[in-house]
Amino acid sequence: MSGKRVIVTGGDGFLGSFVVERLRRTPWCGEVFVPHSRQYDLRENEAVLRMYKDARPDIVIHVAGRSGGIGANQDRPAEFFYDNLLMGVQVMHQAHLSGVEKFVAIGNVCAYPKLTPVPFHEDAFWDGYPEEINAPYALAKKMLLVQAQAYRQQYRFNAIYLLPVNLYGPWINREQAVSYVIPALIKRCLDAVETGRDEITIWGDGIPTREFLYVEDCAEAIVSATEHYSKPAPVNIGSGVEVSIKELVEKIARLTGFQGRTVWDTSKPGGQPRRCLDTSRAYQEFGWRATTQLDEGLRRTIDWYRTHR
């Protein structure tokens, strides 16, 4: 591989921007094209066709998507289903028709069944229905795997599917600070410290567990898989470390200096009971493992947010 032209859909978003940065430090990447949504609405087939005509890519990394936290998934399930399904289907189909050499589809851990045994192994991906609140979004992203495997079987199209866990890191935006677990907790704790409030309110009871991956580690995994992995089976991308929401709140409170009380609003949903991935396939297939410990990643993220908020 050398001098490859790469499209990164969603390359101006949170994960996508780190993928773009990592690609630009990769010897085999010659040019990165980021299709901004103002110019290329990937829900529209004409815009997708124009994107491929303008970029002439060898490789496509499809990161773009519409997503949000529990509240957003409750309020906008139809949008999340329609937008993600339409983007994925058209971007991959036109990649095949345009002669793209490789397509990297980015899924999401919430596509796993609600009660998947922990740690989640890729072989359990079809063993049940996703957690109900996230299901419309999750199933739309899950169809990327169906499409990738179907196109590989019929057209010999080299499409792979990666499954990252919940991500966090610098460059928190306004939407993340409201909707996503770690950014929202950091914002609430720092706001409380600055205003002198002695309590914060968190949805649920703190019992559900999650796994979190530092965004730079995820970008490294995506670029490594792009270069070294070309099989139909999905691949988990995570840290392999499970932490309860209660423990996470305690860590962020300590790192932000918040010493007040946490009030758990049990009238609100807590989401899927447990999430933690078996990440052995990623190491076996392309030698990737996460390197950033949760405490260190949280410290970097909080430092960035303090400086840029």
Report the distance separating Cα 222 and Cα 243, nearest Å.
Answer: 24
Query: Which member of 40, 52, 112, 137 is catalytic?
Result: 137
- Is 168 in the active site? no
Nearest to 24 by CA among 39, 11, 37, 38: 11
Distance between CA atoms of 128 and 115, rounded to whole angstroms?
A: 8
- Beta-carbon count within 10 A of 49 CB: 15
User: How far is residue 166's CA from residue 110's CA, in Å, rounded to a whole number?
Assistant: 9
Burial of 306 (0-12, 13-18, 19+ CB in 10 A): exposed
SS3 219: helix
Rg of the chain over all Cα atoms, to the nearest angstrom: 19
* Pair of tokens at residue 12: 């101006």
Give the DSSP letter of residue 116. Answer: P
Residue numbers annotated as active site: 137
